[in-house]
Structure 1
Amino acid sequence: MRSNYPFNCWYVAATSVEVGQGLLARRLLDRPVVLYRRSSGDVVAMEDRCVHRAYPLSAGRRDGDRLVCGYHGFAYEPDGCLVDVPSQENVPPGARVRSYPVHEQPPFVWIWLGDPGVAALRPPPRVPWYADGTGWGSTIEVLRVEANYLLLHEHYLDLTDVFVMHPEAVPPDIEVLPPLDEVEVSERSVSYGRVTPPSRLAGWEAQVTGLPAETVGIRREEGTFVSPGLHVQHYVIDSEDRRAYELLRIQGFTPESPAATHVFLQMARNYATEDDHVAEFLRAMFGDWALRDSAVLASIQRRLGEEAVPRRDINVKADRAAVRARRIAMEMVDEETGRFALNRILATS
């Protein structure tokens, strides 16, 4: 059974602070990967498997910038080339493990697990609202959800579940979310927007902004499927003081396997940027919400795994952006699958 994630795409492999002088093992797109930093500070990513026997290189050690297998001592350069076999003088010609293109764009380390020749033509995505981060405060979280990555994209492209799952987040004067104002689709991305009617602040909004609870404002909500590996939510409170209180949830969704996903979450705000109490409040609140979301998505994943014959779910109006995002991801997979099949035919003809 083929995966539903494309390989020719940048995904977040780790946060910058996770990758140090030690060896970080991580499974990405169902492939074992080991990451570490060279003495120069550059990040290295390579296949986490010795070419001699299937021992994880992440269980070995560093020797300068080289990686030494913990089984028989085979040594590898950062580009994956085998350069030393302790039991003999010569090294088998061409022996190497695969190395992967990486790009560090703090707070994330991006990795390309597909065709290396294509990586240079497609730089990692950027978040236009955030720019260089000036005037923003942010926090970082790393989570793991036992659900397919597309379930997460679909979940965050349709927030109508908030009344059931997170009622404390809803402003007191809003009983139903207005329909999406628009859904914009490009070749590889989907975005939606909606504006709520004026209402008083929810408790959490008052606490983090410092505004009185009776303050009336509108909310501008935007969600973007930037790529299969990146999802961004932009939540803005336009208050009576004519200031825009902006909150960004920048989420790297990286498949660990077809049934599990690494989530790299950066929350950025343009208010109370130096207030540690606000940062901790938002971190704890969204952490609690993420646990609830994860439990629901994991339950869906288990039920899907129990079905011998896949069933076709119905869609409603609120699913417009989610349906289009899934279609884009599958079109990318189909494109890769077709190209691979064609290359295999040409190679054998």
Structure 2
Amino acid sequence: MAGWSGEIGASGLARRLLGKPVFLYRLEDGRPAALLDRCPHRFAPLSRGSRDGDRVVCGYHGLTFAPDGQCVHNPFAQRIPAGSRIPTFAVAERDGIVWLWCGDAAEADPALIPDFGFIPDTPASRTVRGYTLMQANYEYGTDNLLDLSHIEFVHKGTFAGQGVIFAGQHSVRQDGDTLHSDWWMPGIAPPSVAQAHFPPDAKVDHWLDMRWNAPASMRLTVGVSPHGAGRDAGFEVPQAHILSPADAHTTHYFWSSTRYDNLGDPNVDAALLALFGEAFDQEDKPMIEAAYANVRDNLERGGDFWKEKPLSLGIDQGGTRARRLLESLIAKEALAGG
């Protein structure tokens, strides 16, 4: 994920992805485009330049580039300098998200983009979207999201489940390259997400279903129904949790939450943004960053996650399986490329 669709306005969006400066902007027909945010002359960010239709004009010396990366104008001579073409990236826009493919554009397959169809607003739903920058490798964010038992300890000010996790059953399953890490908590008191929908003495069934697709695109479904009535008798809150590496030690964390009630009340949007902002920026982020800081020096000296000998508690099998699956996919990609 390169960004939310709404982030790429008239001035475009400069964002570091996979260790590269990338400039995302919209062509005149509205389609997104992406190119390396570095002029080949003296390396100025093209995002600091201007636009000439679909072309990007460097703000330093005026070299102009077409969407395919070809330099098409040199204000100092008729000749276009050799070596002036800049890399471009394949992009696709779907579900209110702009997706970036940093490899060979001919190999980009939009069919592999995970489904986040619940995100765009409809007459029956509304979604709040957010973003935070984490000073940690993206896989440490995946560990956190695929092990939701941490909510009992990290999210005491926001999502804490009043101990419901300890009454739950955790399962991990794999479907092709898709991983599922799910919690099922039957016959419990209403968790915080359901307290406005059920009386305090009610018994409910509660589920947290997390779907993971490589490298780090996750959909969380939070659901509650009357005990024993089946899932269709309750309600669900779908969320997106998508991590994109800025570099090896920094991660873009995009999140969203969709609701189906109180659609016309802007105060609900503000309250949800404040709640999620507190949960992710003030609770998750400091813990993940501090944990990563404890191993970063070793990683930079050639170590890896497994050499740190992480202890297994069982409930962390989602993150472990994701790491192993990702390693397998990377190895296959490297073999195919070789």
TM over 0.5: yes
1:177 to 1:30, Cα distance in 2 relative to 1, 3 A: farther
In the other structure, the counterpart of 1:104 is 93
Among 314, 318, 337, the alignment partner of 1:317 is: 314
CA-CA distance at 1:267 after TM superposition: 0.7
* TM-score, with structure 2 as normaliser: 0.88
Matched, 1:145 2:134: yes
In the other structure, the counterpart of 2:213 is 226
Q: Which moved more, 1:171-180 or 1:117-126?
A: 171-180
CA-CA distance at 1:283 after TM superposition: 2.1
CA-CA distance at 1:302 after TM superposition: 1.0
Q: Which moved more, 1:55-64 or 1:271-280?
A: 271-280
Aligned amino acid, residue 296 of structure 1: M
In the other structure, the counterpart of 2:332 is 335
Matches within 5 A, 1:192-271: 192-207=181-196, 209=197, 211-239=198-226, 243-271=233-261
Question: Would the aligned equivalents of 2:240 and 2:256 in 1 still touch at CA under 8 Å?
Answer: yes
* TM-score, with structure 1 as normaliser: 0.86
CA-CA distance at 1:128 after TM superposition: 6.4
1:278 to 1:218, Cα distance in 2 relative to 1, 3 A: farther
Give CA-to-partner distance per residue, 1:208-248, whole Å, 9 cap, x none.
x4x43333311021011122131111110113797422111
Question: Would the aligned equivalents of 2:49 and 2:60 in 1 still touch at CA under 8 Å?
Answer: yes
Question: Would the aligned equivalents of 1:220 and 1:235 in 2 still touch at CA under 8 Å?
Answer: yes
Q: Secondary structure at the match of 2:263?
A: coil
The answer to which structure, 1 or 2, has the higher relative contact order (CA under 8 A, 6+ apart) is: 1
CA-CA distance at 1:84 after TM superposition: 0.7
Give CA-to-partner distance per residue, 1:97-128, whole Å, 9 cap, x none.
11111111142111111221210364421136
Computed over aligned residues only, the root mean square deviation of the Cα atoms, in angstroms, reads: 2.4
Among 37, 40, 48, the alignment partner of 1:48 is: 37
In the other structure, the counterpart of 1:13 is 2
Q: Which moved more, 1:152-161 or 1:92-101?
A: 92-101
Give CA-to-partner distance per residue, 1:174-231, whole Å, 9 cap, x none.
3714231x32213322102222122222345324x4x433333110210111221311
CA-CA distance at 1:335 after TM superposition: 2.3
Matches within 5 A, 1:253-292: 253-291=243-281, 292=283
Aligned amino acid, residue 245 of structure 2: P
| Identical positions, percent | 26
In the other structure, the counterpart of 1:124 is 113
1:274 to 1:216, Cα distance in 2 relative to 1, 3 A: farther
Q: Which moved more, 1:26-35 or 1:261-270?
A: 261-270
Among 24, 33, 47, the alignment partner of 2:13 is: 24
Cα distance in 2, alignment partners of residues 320 and 113 from structure 1: 30
Matched, 1:303 2:294: yes
Question: Would the aligned equivalents of 1:173 and 1:199 in 2 still touch at CA under 8 Å?
Answer: no
Give CA-to-partner distance per residue, 1:33-52, whole Å, 9 cap, x none.
00111121111100011122
Cα distance in 2, alignment partners of residues 173 and 33 from structure 1: 44
1:184 to 1:13, Cα distance in 2 relative to 1, 3 A: same
In the other structure, the counterpart of 1:71 is 60
Cα distance in 2, alignment partners of residues 23 and 278 from structure 1: 29
